[in-house]
Amino acid sequence: MLGRLNHVAIAVPDLAAAANQYRASLGAEVTAPQALPEHGVTVVFINLPNTKIELLEPLGADSPIAAFLVKNPSGGMHHVCYEVDDILAARDRLQADGARVLGDGNPRIGAHGKPVLFLHPKDFCGTLVELEQAG
């Protein structure tokens, strides 16, 4: 069911500062900021040869990232994203096996313009998992 690792997401309190740190210190290629109001975040991607790093900051006080940063003021790893060939089939199989899909269970459009779902961290070794429709 799982495809390649699409990205690792890191929550940050200051997106511009974090992007600059990756750009200046590590020589990273960083995309322009993208606001995703439906997810409550603003993101940039750091492109690597084999995957991406997503830096995300809260977009508004109701953002789930704001709550994460209260517990982790310096930021930290927020989630990992895996690609799947068929997101609805993956959701149905996971739910049949007892995994909890966050939200209403229906995919939403993510930062790459593709359907995504999030899986409860308590079902995956304490790690929030994002699934993204491949292709």
Indicate which residues carry an active-site annotation: 130
> Is the Cβ–Cβ distance between 3 and 83 less than 8 Å?
yes
> Is the Cβ–Cβ distance between 114 and 132 less than 8 Å?
yes
Distance CA 69, CA 116 (A): 23
> Is the Cβ–Cβ distance between 79 and 130 less than 8 Å?
yes
> Is the Cβ–Cβ distance between 84 and 131 less than 8 Å?
yes
Residue 76 Cα distances to 8, 70, 92, 107, angstroms? 11, 11, 30, 25
How many other C-beta atoms can be found within 10 angstroms of the C-beta atom of residue 123? Answer: 15
